[in-house]
Amino acid sequence: MQQKIAENFIDIDGSTRLYIGRDSIFPGPSGWPIPHDAPYKTNFDRVIISALEAGLYEKWAGDMNRQATIDSQRRQKENKKRQMDITVMQEGGKTGEEGEVGEGNNISPALALTHLQGAFLLFLLGITVAVVMFIAEALVFKFK
């Protein structure tokens, strides 16, 4: 999970908006489909336990997370540079100011009433149907 977060949710500066818990919710780091009476089970158990006791599992997981974070930051920097190059090419060589809302920037425009009009009309329709049903039920039970 930490590797997926490092690959997909790490910002360019290395920060993330996700909380990563300190402990695992699973009782063990891995499970192996080995028969209980297999002759090689004791040797296999010894190797796994020695790797865990030496801290290799945590070291490998940390290295993988660190590498995933570095790769993610590198990809984001390349994408940002590519978008800036495209913006410059579209504007005919003129560079825009920082924070300007345009086609090449990642800044989303603010929501206006036109964006929320569908949800607002659906809300009003729901309230209208509820009021009509309430009046109908009141009339049915009054004349019953």
pLDDT > 80? residue 105: no
| Predicted local confidence at residue 130, as pLDDT | 97
pLDDT > 70? residue 95: no
> For the chain, how far is it from start to end, CA to CA, in angstroms?
61
Out of 16-25, 39-48, 73-82, 92-101, the most confident range is 73-82
User: What are the CA-CA distances from residue 136 to residues 26, 126, 128, 131, 143 (Å)?
Assistant: 54, 15, 12, 9, 11
Q: Where are the domains of the chain?
A: 2-107, 110-144
Tell me the whole-structure pTM to 2 decimals: 0.40
| Predicted local confidence at residue 30, as pLDDT | 57
| Predicted local confidence at residue 139, as pLDDT | 93
Of 25-29, 39-43, 94-98, 109-113, the one with minimum mean pLDDT is: 94-98
**Sign of the torsion angle spanned by Cα atoms 16, 18, 21, 24:** negative
pLDDT > 90? residue 135: yes
